[in-house]
Structure 1
Amino acid sequence: MIGINIYFCDPRSPWQRGSNENINRLLRQNLSKNADLRAFSLRDLDERINTRPRRVLGWRADADHFWPQMRAAYVS
């Protein structure tokens, strides 16, 4: 366990779903319009999202930024 809190949106509260909507948009950008998400494993989908370069991270991928910080936190 890494001690991260998980929060779920309340039913019929779309204003709480910004994160979900963003991930859905990113997946749809990278998949064809008729792609069935059930055909992909969670690992495949994670890889599509977490390995794309992001301007806010100096054109590094999320995974390249996140994992070194996690390792440093556990080494301390």
Structure 2
Amino acid sequence: MIKKYWQIIIAITILIGFFGYKLSLNAGIDEMNTEQLANLMNEPDEDVFFVDVRESHEFNEGHIDGMMNIPLSTLGD
């Protein structure tokens, strides 16, 4: 039976691996909305470091003062 469906099994395995990999890329990365950001920025805490992960051209179009730009595409580096 496995010999008969080996192509389907391989295709399903590849798809599961691909989607599992894509989902693992975002694991551990939290997102927040503007209200949550404003609340955090108003709390004095020296242990908080703000990073804008948009690409450089997006950041240059407009950003919040005090944000450091590290594009998400290079964050792992």
The verdict on a shared fold, with TM-score over 0.5 as the criterion, is no
| Band of TM-score, shorter chain | under 0.3
TM-score (norm 1): 0.28
* Structure of greater relative contact order (alpha carbons < 8 Å, 6+ residues apart): 2
Would you tell me which structure has more helix in proportion to its own residues?
A: 1
